[in-house]
Structure 1
Amino acid sequence: MATNHQGTMDNYLLRRPKNVAAWALKAKQRPLTVSNAPYTAPPKGHVAIQVIDVAINPIDWIMQESDLFGLQYPAIFGCDVAGEIIEVADDVRDLHAGQRVIAHCNGYSARDASHGAFQKCAIVPKNAVAELPYGIATSIGVVLPLGISTAAAGLYQKTFLELPFPSEQPEALGRTVLIWGGSSSVGSCAIQLAVASGAEVITTASSRNFDYCRKLGAAQCFDYHDKNVEDSIIAALKGKTVAGAYHAVGSEDATRACARILDQSQGKAIVVTVRGVPKGLPSSVRAKSISSSTIFSNEVGPYIWRTFLPRALQTGTIVPAPDPKIVGEELRSVQLGLDKQKAGVSAAKIVVSNISQAGYRHRPLQTTPAWH
């Protein structure tokens, strides 16, 4: 019996994946250091994902430069992953090992390195995971996670815009949403989600990205470089009822522009913003700052990620956008990805591919050791 027990234990340990990560060994360190990392079995309500591709967001290079959230170091940055589930916790019933997925890692809010994206094996809450259809490459699907969560946080949470939840065949809402920065990662997701909620969308972008925004569902586009852009949008909103404004990208001046537009329009006078709330807004307009992680403490996160998104990706109701811009392969290229994102991109998202290869599809890990 002892021999069988030891053999089972050795077999289990051998089947556990070797993990490697791009570490921030201390605050404001650059470049990241690629080194071994422990593999963590998923706790209750979580899954382990073998990461194939990662996408880079502005928050990632901001974290490297400023230590915005005061993480414990060494730390693993990153939010967006696509890959394959290799292990699920005992209580997870709607996901299983071997599934291709995209996921929103919560390392910044969890303050736990095992939850960061920039590693070969990441731990993710099950309610931040969506199955990825085989017709969508992981390097394409990976552009969505943080953008989807951030867009949903502003569009659906109580005391924010509070739109009806999205569906594949929405009823016309009779309301218009202004999205400032429609060609950005968050803006691209916000356009699609708002349209799937039955809203009309008016957006701003560079004129070269107008067609891109229209393909995502925007009814009208305005060039934010135009000195008369506020007056033009106010005129376009005449006779319409607004459901609020979503400031997806840009400086505090863009938030103020949204507020001034709503002050001159009919409907819900609230601006939700990915930045802090600035001073100097019209007294008639409320403004709220968005945190993507809050949707996982209420009904929004589970609905968007587990109910709506898997089917929406299958039917094309939601398409991965913006397009990926692959800048390198493997964890050694993550620092390049951070630098490229900081330098700026337009209607594109920085992606690092081939973080690891899916090698556990036909031999999924057990949730608990066989000797338990």
Structure 2
Amino acid sequence: MEVNEAALLRKPRGLLEVEQVETWLPGAGEVVVRNEAIAFNPIEAKIQRWEMFDIEYPAVLGYTFGGTIHSVGPGVDSFKSGDRVAVARWGRAASDIRFGAFQKYPLALEENLVKLNAHTPLHEGCGVMANLATVVAALSICMNLGYPPVNARANRNGKRILIYGGSSSVGGLAVQYAVDAGYEVLTTSSPSNWSLVQRRGASCIIDHTRPKEEILESIKEHGPYDGIFDAIGSSEVTLLLGEFFLASNGGTFWSTSPTPVDKDLPKNVRKQWASYSDVLVEEGANKEAKMWYLHEYLPESLSSGRVFSNPSDIVTGGLGSVQNVLDSFMDGKISGKKVFVNPQEH
């Protein structure tokens, strides 16, 4: 095996540094993956810039990736060397430097792998895996919305929801998931991404590049809603939804992320958020939903092409380009696409 390298975060709010790290050996229930596709999530940039979570340093960030299994540890019987897999860094792997996606040869837990068939691109598998788990947990577990059928669309149930950020990686999957579950979905997007959002089945798209007052008026006009999910998790969206609920005598919405302005929301407006993947895969009460997701819904939907990630933006430069990608998220330069880096590049 080649020398392992990682993009290390050595201190809070520091810049990533590409360095040689240990070549990991898989333990019981673990595999080593030749990482060929880091799938980026906005939360990783926020963790670096805002110190959102209490993590140990040096840290290797990154929560989703795809590649080929290089070696397997004791007791691994569902996978073998050479299998193509999508990986999510869930459970005990989340805080362990050995499992971080920003390296060439990370470890992965057998329970966090999804095997990909020969015609499913690595980018599609790892680009969807964690984002769609967030959607399942947020909409069906936390917000108590119904589950969709596998590879089909349910009949309309007469309920309407708002998903703010329908062209984002999580928001786009949330739109399709909710539509397939039978809901009428209203969402937001810039006009440049409308064709992508329409493909996912939204019934109405509000142009979020318009002035705030016009956005609020459009959201009010198309209500009321049986649920609101903020897939952006920014300060701007938090305050905008706070204004919407204030005018509607208060209420609750769910979001992908806390922000520095959450404390400024009106007292009758409640913003909820959670570590959604943990809700799905770690909480015992949701074991049935986890098994359905990992063994039925996700692999079958990927194989058929019904579930798909946003268009891929494959950034060249290997691990040396990871910091630039994170900066682009924080600078608002990424919209309507899913960003990937191949750490095997030099």
Separation in structure 2 between the aligned mates of residue 324 and residue 18 of structure 1, nearest angstrom:
28
2:221 maps to 1:235: yes
Say whether the 8 Å CA contact 1:324–1:350 is kept in structure 2: yes
> What is aligned with 1:316?
305
Larger deviation: 183-192 or 256-265? 256-265
Say whether the 8 Å CA contact 1:170–1:196 is kept in structure 2: yes
> What is aligned with 2:254?
272
**What does 1:201-240 align with in structure 2 at a 5 Å threshold?**
201-226=185-210, 227-237=213-223
Q: Under a length normalisation based on structure 1, what TM-score does the superposition of the two structures give?
A: 0.78
Q: Label 1:281 to 1:76 Cα distance change in 2 as closer, same or farther (>3 A).
A: same
Say whether the 8 Å CA contact 1:22–1:334 is kept in structure 2: yes
Task: Percent identity, please.
Answer: 26
Residue 307 of structure 1 aligns to a residue whose secondary structure is helix
Residue 144 of structure 1 aligns to a residue whose secondary structure is helix
Give 1:165 shift.
Answer: 4.9
Separation in structure 1 between the aligned mates of residue 127 and residue 227 of structure 2, nearest angstrom:
26
Give 1:252 shift.
Answer: 3.9
> What is aligned with 1:39?
24
Q: Under a length normalisation based on structure 2, what TM-score does the superposition of the two structures give?
A: 0.83
Say whether the 8 Å CA contact 2:156–2:183 is kept in structure 1: yes
2:39 to 23, 33, 55: 55
Cα shift readout 1:310-351 (whole Å, capped 9, x = no counterpart): 11011122012x212122132222223223333321111222
Separation in structure 2 between the aligned mates of residue 125 and residue 68 of structure 1, nearest angstrom:
24
- The gaps in structure 1 that reach 5 residues or longer are 1-15, 358-372
2:5 maps to 1:23: no
Q: CA RMSD in A?
A: 3.0
Q: Label 1:347 to 1:304 Cα distance change in 2 as closer, same or farther (>3 A).
A: same
Separation in structure 1 between the aligned mates of residue 231 and residue 184 of structure 2, nearest angstrom:
17
Larger deviation: 250-259 or 269-278? 250-259
> What is aligned with 2:229?
246
Q: Label 1:221 to 1:313 Cα distance change in 2 as closer, same or farther (>3 A).
A: same
Separation in structure 1 between the aligned mates of residue 312 and residue 274 of structure 2, nearest angstrom:
24
Q: Label 1:91 to 1:194 Cα distance change in 2 as closer, same or farther (>3 A).
A: farther
Say whether the 8 Å CA contact 2:255–2:273 is kept in structure 1: yes
1:338 to 326, 332, 341: 326
Separation in structure 1 between the aligned mates of residue 329 and residue 247 of structure 2, nearest angstrom:
35
Separation in structure 2 between the aligned mates of residue 99 and residue 21 of structure 1, nearest angstrom:
23
2:315 maps to 1:327: yes
Give 1:125 shift.
Answer: 3.2
Separation in structure 1 between the aligned mates of residue 263 and residue 146 of structure 2, nearest angstrom:
24
Say whether the 8 Å CA contact 1:21–1:120 is kept in structure 2: yes
Say whether the 8 Å CA contact 1:83–1:101 is kept in structure 2: yes
Q: Label 1:56 to 1:171 Cα distance change in 2 as closer, same or farther (>3 A).
A: closer
Say whether the 8 Å CA contact 2:6–2:104 is kept in structure 1: yes
Say whether the 8 Å CA contact 1:204–1:222 is kept in structure 2: yes
> What is aligned with 1:199?
183
Residues paired across the two proteins, number = 332
Greater Rg, structure 1 or structure 2? 1
